[in-house]
Amino acid sequence: METGEEFGPWLARQLKLTGKTQAELADELELTRAAVSAWITGRSTPRPAVMEKIARALNTDVGTVHTRTTDTQAGLPITWYHRPGYDDGGRDLGNAAAFAFDADVQVLARETCQNSLDERRKETGRPVRVRYTLHELTGKFLDDFRDAILWNDLFPHYAAVSETAAHQKVGRVVDAGVRDMYEKGRLILLRVDDYNASGLTGDDYADGKFAAVVRRQLESLKSGPGAGGSYGLGKATLWATSALGLVLINSTLSEPHEGRTERRVIGRLELPWREVDGRTYAGPAWFGRPDPDTRNAEVARSWWADEKTVERLHLTRESDEPGTSFLVVGAQDMAGLHEDDEKDADAGDEDTRDIGRMHRRLVEALGRDFWAAMTGGGGRLPLLEVFVRAMRNGEVVEEERQIDPSVEQPSRTRALRAYYEGTTVDRFTEAGQVVARRVPLSLPLSGGGRGSHGTHQAVLLVTDSATDAEQKKNGRPNQVHSLRGNRMTVKRATVPNLPLGTNPFQAVVLVGEAVEESTPFARDAEDFLRAAEPPEHDNWKQTEELTLRWSPSAYRRINALTTEVNNAVRELVARPRRGATEGGEALRSALTVKKKPKAKVPTGPVVPELDGLEASIGDAGEWRITAEVKIPRGDEIVPMVPVAQLDVRSGGRPRLDWAELVAVEGCEVENGTLRFPPGTRRARFQGSTDVTSHPVKATYSRLVVELRTGKGE
């Protein structure tokens, strides 16, 4: 049951909204100004008979005055406030933060679900519940929604943007979104609700979660090292997924603001610079109630909406449990066109707003990235519950489905539950077992100091893919999923150089508070690895944050952890060697091989050559390579620089940056250069390219790798 606001603050706000002073209200009530002042300061409350007079003065019903669960509808109406153009002529042609992400519902799912995990109310001991609802509106349902968001007031701004669509990216996206709505007579809404979360607390303008999400860019107020986000970029995925650049918000707060907690509503629109009726506008706009404290009451702020209003805006929440609902208006899924789906390809379906495909891709991404957060066992509760559904004009199209980690990621879920329940083993002796092994992460001293801050013991879990069905659901075999405190999968990597005949397996690495909050150096590991994550939170590597807080070589500690993990996995999954009297060994002992005379060792430097290359495309779109190097005999071996390029028909080959270079055998990697110990004849190294340096997607390109002397120029 919603609790009404205290009378004094509520009355003070209603006077602002209606433009009345305390003295004017006192005159209408035929009372003294001191009496009204006493109500507002909380020294007294009016009698029931006076409540009726106050209701008439505020042009509302007496029930609203008694309950005070909403503002009166008198005074300044809900409207759109568009930020005026800059006096110096500057132009913002789009939200730069949104360009960090594709219009991809899977990216949206990853970022929003991570945010909900970070905002989970831990004190309740319950998981945060997140629901994704796709809703297609047509006909009268579409007309009613457009009326609710004051579409006629917005249309001139969209028309102005469409006129400049040929000259900049955001304009083209918005123009296509508006045309789709009118030509196909539909609009796709994608709503993300979370429950048992903190909600958008704080003032409209001052520091707080509300202002960080609604008013500001690149601000993150995540608390604790276990939080997933740190760049303040994740919220931009909401607007990036909207072809109209429009997101509406309804938040139930975990702590009161202005004496209220329920139905705090606002909308934000992201458009590029535009000119409408001779007046210029800088970019963003807000949907809310005019703030009487701003100049000419122009700026729109959040308001406490009534139930009918949130229903018309498709923002009704299922309960009064704290959390936030984000409504992406005009949702699209451009990346869905590139998925490997033969059925869609055969049908020639290029609809970026197909709610069936979007539903399927949401389920896939949530199960892949958050299976661990949804897994419990041994007294440890899941951190997360996720549901997905699809509707059309209020009717169910896809029944609500709760994501089950044991269905989406069966082998990994079995491994994590075994760890929670204490049923892991040291060695494989039969199918279906889960092996646990401690692997060290040596943490560097902050500020570039020499030595180690301490060693955190991460946990490696390995299990087999027991059946063909499990292998299909698990995805690519022989992979390691790495995660930390919030249990979102951060890094996915294939174990290289596995012994021939290795049975398919899956592995999980728990680091930091994912092991246990009380594990030595768990919080330090969380802090270190969080700083090593790029904005996409899909890898651990050298970042600017890692360089500034630790050192330019801090990534070597992460590489060392990767090496420890890969070595441990290879040892655990290797099949026992045959005895010398069995198979090939017995055959070889019966053969006589004539030995060649030793070749004369040349003097002077020798240049290594690339002798073999295996390449594949990783889940993040990066090139992953394993390279074999052949080295002639010689006293001195020239250091070499691996260079990755894209093959083109003409002109210079575009060069790609390395996100990671790892020495596997017979070499060392130092600042991007391979160095070889004297006498080495063969070496092996691995690398993955930096996706941000790709001029085109890896799936549309061919890779060339060379070894060069000097600086690799």
What φ, ψ does residue 665 adopt, rounded to 5°? -160, 135
pLDDT, tens digit, for every residue of 257-300? 887 899 999 999 999 888 999 999 988 999 998 887 777 778 88
Residue in 534, 537, 536, 529 with CA at minimum distance from that of residue 562: 529
Topology annotation, domain 79-84+100-406? Heat Shock Protein 90 (3.30.565)
Residue carrying structure tokens 């089950």: 404
For residue 642, the SS3 value is: strand
Strand pairing report for 274-276 and 264-270:
unpaired
Output the pTM of the full model. Answer: 0.74
The CATH class of the 605-708 domain is mainly beta
Estimate the crossing angle of helix 151-163 against helix 169-184, to 10 degrees. Answer: 130
- In what helix (H) or strand (E) does residue 445 lie, and over which residues does it extend? none
How far is it, in rounded angstroms, from Cα 403 to Cα 130? 10
Residue carrying structure tokens 């539950």: 417
Helix spans in 313-354 (H):
342-347
* CA dihedral sign, ordered 506, 511, 516, 519: positive
Task: Output the pLDDT for position 600.
Answer: 54
Domain boundaries, the chain: 7-67, 79-84+100-406, 418-573, 605-708
Topology annotation, domain 7-67? 434 Repressor (Amino-terminal Domain) (1.10.260)
Write out the two tokens for 451. Answer: 């030595």
List of the chain residues with pLDDT < 70: 1-3, 73-76, 93-102, 165-167, 218-234, 336-350, 466-474, 575-603, 648-651, 711-713
For residue 327, the SS3 value is: strand
Residue carrying structure tokens 């608390």: 223
How far is it, in rounded angstroms, from Cα 637 to Cα 412? 44
How far is it, in rounded angstroms, from Cα 330 to Cα 241? 8
Residue in 481, 507, 488, 633 with CA at minimum distance from that of residue 570: 507
Cβ neighbors of 586 (< 8 A, separation 6 or more) are: 580
Residue in 49, 38, 48, 47 with CA at minimum distance from that of residue 11: 38
How far is it, in rounded angstroms, from Cα 498 to Cα 483? 23
252, 325 Cβ separation under 8 angstroms: no
Residue in 297, 305, 260 with CA at minimum distance from that of residue 73: 305
How far is it, in rounded angstroms, from Cα 329 to Cα 318? 20
238, 262 Cβ separation under 8 angstroms: no
374 exposure class (CB count in 10 Å sphere: 0-12, 13-18, 19+): buried
Residue 597: CB atoms within 10 Å = 5
- DSSP letters spanning 226-245: T-S--SS-TTHHHHHHEEEE
